[in-house]
Amino acid sequence: MILLQSVLASLFGYTIATTGSSLASGQIKNLVSFGDSYTDTTAMADGGATWPSYAAGYANVSLFSFAKAGATCSNNLTFRPFPSVFESQLPTYFAEVANGTLSYLPPDETLYTLWIGTNDVGANALLTGQGAPRVSLVDTVSCAIEWVKTMYASGARNFLFQNMAPLQNTVLYSADSYLNHYWTQERNTTEWNVFMSEITHTGNKLQELMLKALVPSLKDIHLGLFDSYSLFEDMIANPTTYLNGTAPLNITGCAHSCVYQLNESTADTGICTIANGTDRDSFLWYDELHPSEQTERNIAKEIAEVIKGERNQWTTWLA
């Protein structure tokens, strides 16, 4: 493994980072989150609260969320009419810091997180060839790495960078998918599934390599890489450990499923099958694209361990 890392370091021109230690117990008092609908705490897309709200509660810290549903890293790379990280979320954060809306957050007591990529690589973006001209996966991943640089330059020192989930396992990108709210036109579902698997694997490896290349140049940075991908894989492989609803456990369907007919108006809702109450906690996915609230709770428990300075099996400290 060490030899392989050395070869990769030579090929990509980076210095192998020394694995750091976790945060100190009781160190973090504030959690500041950026990202898309997987992280948005105001327009929840999971039928309930998302992971930052749960994590802040589990770890007993203050939450400041800037994530917005529909976001990409930059609308200059993959345009979507939603508040992207660089054109909206970061400007909002810096404006609130400047005008005092956001009170001073001591750098050593604050953890900054980013979970982005789902919209950058998906339908109406890279997957369907709708990025800006000549924009590739390298550009969208580089944008996320630039977030670290930007926040570091502003004084942030503690980071948790979350990689992409296995999006090929969502209903939207599965080989057995159907027409739904997120895509109402014919497509080759097998092709989408294979392509998305390649995108998520490649994008996550690029993220890892780029972060390892970055951290030696940023003095006093404390950066953890949270392996969302592997956590989801474990939830898929061991649903009884993570799902606790009153319906049969389900890792392939979703709690809020709406099947559309070809050429059906997007104003319609399709034919929907909806799990209610505690039945929802039996599902890994809430709808065709988003994790369920129970899945968000599982993510929150793991990230709360990071916040509290405990050892977490899904987190590797790069610095």
Question: What pLDDT, on a 0 to 100 scale, did the predictor assign at position 53?
Answer: 98
Characterise 276 by phi-psi region: left (phi > 0), alpha (psi -120 to 50), beta (else): beta
9-13, 153-157, 241-245: which has the minimum mean pLDDT?
Answer: 9-13
pLDDT at 14 over 60: no
Average pLDDT in the 275-282 region? 97
Question: What pLDDT, on a 0 to 100 scale, did the predictor assign at position 274?
Answer: 97
pLDDT at 13 over 60: no
pLDDT tens by residue, 160-207:
999 999 999 999 999 999 999 999 999 999 999 999 999 999 999 999
pLDDT at 3 over 90: no
pLDDT at 264 over 80: no
Q: How confident is the model at residue 270 (pLDDT cuts 50, 70, 90)?
A: confident
What domains can be seen in the chain, in order of their start residue? 21-175+186-231+296-309 (3.40.50.1110)
pLDDT tens by residue, 223-235:
999 999 999 999 9
Does the predicted TM-score (pTM) go above 0.75? yes
Question: What pLDDT, on a 0 to 100 scale, did the predictor assign at position 263?
Answer: 67
Q: Hey, what are 2's tokens?
A: 């060490």
Q: Hey, what are 12's tokens?
A: 């990509």
Mean pLDDT rounded to a whole number for the chain: 93
pLDDT at 16 over 70: no
Question: What pLDDT, on a 0 to 100 scale, did the predictor assign at position 248?
Answer: 98
DSSP track, 59-128: HT-EEEE---TT--S-TTTS--SS--IIIIIHHHHHHHHHHTSS----GGGEEEEEE--TTTSSTTTGGG
Contact 231, 314 (CB under 8 A): yes
Contact 115, 168 (CB under 8 A): no
Average pLDDT in the 9-17 region? 41
Q: Choose between 270 and 87: higher pLDDT.
A: 87
Question: What pLDDT, on a 0 to 100 scale, did the predictor assign at position 22?
Answer: 84
Q: How confident is the model at residue 139 (pLDDT cuts 50, 70, 90)?
A: very high
